[in-house]
Structure 1
C-alpha cells in the first residue's frame, strides 16, 4: 500500500477555484478503480491550506489515478496560481485502517 499526504496553501482569490477544480477530479475519481484507492481532500480553518491524503493499492493504480486528465489540469492550475506555500509531499507508513483497499 502507498499512502501520501500533500499540503499546500493557495492565495485567497484562488481558493474557490481550487475547490471547484478539486470537485472536478473527485467526480472523475469516483468512477475509477473504487476498491483500489482512496482519495480525501481537507481544508484547514484558514480556508487557504489544503491537505490531500491518498492511499493506493500499488504504484500502477497510483499512476492511473494521478494521470487522470482532470487531476493533471487541477495540478497545473494550482501550481500556476501563485501559491503561498508550495506543495509538501509526505509519504506515510500505513499502520491500519477501518477500510480495506485489498480484497
Structure 2
C-alpha cells in the first residue's frame, strides 16, 4: 500500500477556483476502480491550505490515478497560481 499526504497553500483569491478543479478530478476519479485507491481532500482552518490524502494498492494504480487528465490539469493550474514553496509531499509508512 502506498500512502501519501500532499499539503500546499494557495492565495486567498485562488481558493474557490482550486476547489472547482479538485471537484472535477474527484468526479473523474469515480470512473476508476474505487477498490484500488482512496483519495480525499481537506481544507485547513486557515482557509487557504489544502491537504490531499491518498492511498493506492500499488504503483500501477497510483500511476493510473495521477495521470487522469483532469488531475494533471488541476496540478498545472495549481502550480501556476503561485504556491511560494509551500508544496510538500510526504510518503507515509503503515505501522
Report the TM-score range of the alignment, normalised by the length of the smaller protein.
over 0.9
| Contact 1:8–1:83 under 8 Å retained in 2 | yes
Say how many residue pairs are matched.
95
TM-score when scaled to structure 2? 0.96
Whole-angstrom CA distance in 1 between matches of 2:43 and 2:94: 22
> Which residue pairs with 2:51 in the alignment?
51
> Which residue pairs with 1:15 in the alignment?
15
- Where do 1:13-92 residues align within 5 Å? 13-92=13-92
Larger Rg: 1
Structure 2 residue runs of 5 or longer lacking an equivalent are none
TM-score when scaled to structure 1? 0.89
Post-superposition Cα deviations, 1:30-85, rounded to whole Å, max 9, x if no partner, equal: 12011000000000011100000000000000000000000000000000001244
- Following TM superposition, the consecutive aligned residue runs of length 4 or more in structure 1 with deviations greater than 2 angstroms are none
